[in-house]
């Protein structure tokens, strides 16, 4: 079974530029998550999708971050414009929906450096 | 709200020492509990899980028991190896309002094992 795929693995941009990350979840997984992991901290949930609908985006900085999940499969996360404090690893994860309380499977992440 | 608190690191041990990493949680209802591990340069991997009180999760010599009375899920291993050096994250998954799992992570504990 293929895992969660993310691209790119690394990205360096200047502040005020825009950037996009792509995620392909495990086939059949209805739930998709985007997490931000700042160096030395635990992952922080940015947005959670159930199929192509948003379940939780309460911690997404909506003035600069946006995400979509077209057709309930792939997802993209965009930052525009980027700030220095956006430097982090962006993790995508997916899980099945089996009555809730299921573990998530993570991709390798995209390491973003904003200079 | 739901939250996870785990012991601060870094933790440095000699090979074959006994390991305990403490984790406590706050949650409404009956969450599932997880330990994830992040090896250097890699994504998060599920190490073990427990879905109800008194369950014991185990994998690769690691164990953790879901203690509802103390709201704890401490990670233990009887004899650590150099290859166990990684960052360990305690996490919980509780039902969100839409019945999709919401996964919350602790801040992580960095473990280093000396040969």
The alpha carbon of residue B16 is apart from the nearest alpha carbon of chain A, in Å, by 26
CB contact under 8 A, A48 and B100: yes
CB contact under 8 A, A101 and B44: no
A21, β-bridge pairs: A77
In this prediction, the residues of chain A whose per-residue pLDDT falls under 70 are 1, 97-101
pLDDT at A51: 87
- Tell me if residue A19 falls in helix, strand or coil: strand
Query: Hey, how many other C-beta atoms are within 10 angstroms of the C-beta on A92?
Result: 28
Non-local CB neighbours of A29 within 8 Å, separated by 6+ positions:
A94, A95, A96, A105
Beta A110-114 vs A10-13: how paired, if at all? parallel
Residues in chain A within 8 Å Cβ distance of B94: 100-101
The alpha carbon of residue A41 is apart from the nearest alpha carbon of chain B, in Å, by 5
CB contact under 8 A, A102 and B106: no
Q: What is the pLDDT of residues B37-80, one digit of tens each?
A: 999 888 899 999 998 899 999 999 999 999 999 999 999 999 99
The beta-carbon neighbor of B103 closest among A50, A104, A108 is A104
Q: Is A58 on the interface with B (CB under 8 A)?
A: no
Tell me phi and psi for residue B84, to 5 degrees. -85, -5
- Tell me if residue A42 falls in helix, strand or coil: coil
C-alpha angle B88-A39-A57 in degrees, rounded to nearest 5? 90
The beta-carbon neighbor of B89 closest among A40, A42, A103 is A42
B45, β-bridge pairs: B37
Tell me phi and psi for residue B18, to 5 degrees. -85, 140
Tracing tokens 């992952």 back to the chain, one arrives at A43
- Tell me if residue A84 falls in helix, strand or coil: helix
Q: Is A93 on the interface with B (CB under 8 A)?
A: yes
pLDDT at A23: 97
Residues in chain B within 8 Å Cβ distance of A109: 43
In order of A39, A67, B7, B71, B94, the CA distances from B102 in angstroms are: 22, 17, 22, 18, 6
Contact B61, B39 (CB under 8 A): no
CA terminus-to-terminus distance, chain B = 41
Token pair belonging to A24? 């392909």
Q: What is the rounded average pLDDT for all residues in chain A?
A: 92
Q: What is the rounded average pLDDT for all residues in chain B?
A: 91
pLDDT at B101: 66
Query: Hey, how many other C-beta atoms are within 10 angstroms of the C-beta on B52?
Result: 12
What CA dihedral angle connects B103, A20, A30 and B53, to 10 degrees? -10
Cα gap A48→A32, rounded to integer Å? 6
pLDDT at A40: 86
pLDDT at B9: 84
């Amino acid at each position: 079974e293929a895992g969660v795929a993310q691209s790119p693995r690394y990205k360096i941009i200047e502040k005020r530029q825009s950037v996009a990350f792509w995620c392909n979840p495990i086939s059949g997984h209805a739930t998709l998550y985007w997490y931000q992991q700042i160096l030395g901290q635990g992952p922080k949930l940015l947005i959670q999708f159930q199929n192509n609908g948003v379940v939780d985006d309460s911690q997404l900085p909506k003035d600069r971050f946006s995400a979509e999940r077209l057709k309930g499969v792939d997802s993209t996360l965009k930052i525009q414009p980027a700030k220095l404090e956006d430097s982090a690893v962006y993790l995508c994860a997916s899980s099945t929906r089996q009555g809730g309380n299921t573990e998530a499977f993570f991709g390798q992440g995209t390491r973003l450096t904003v200079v | 709200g739901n939250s996870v608190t785990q012991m601060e690191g870094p933790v440095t041990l000699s090979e074959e020492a006994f390991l305990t990493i403490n984790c406590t949680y706050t949650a409404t209802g009956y969450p599932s509990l997880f330990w994830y591990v992040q090896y250097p340069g890699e994504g998060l991997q599920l190490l073990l899980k427990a879905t109800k009180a008194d369950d014991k999760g185990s994998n690769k010599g690691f164990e953790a028991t879901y203690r509802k009375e103390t709201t704890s899920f401490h990670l233990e291993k009887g004899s650590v190896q150099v290859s166990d050096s990684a960052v360990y994250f305690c996490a919980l998954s509780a039902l969100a309002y839409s019945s999709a799992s919401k996964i919350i992570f602790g801040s992580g504990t960095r473990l280093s094992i000396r040969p």
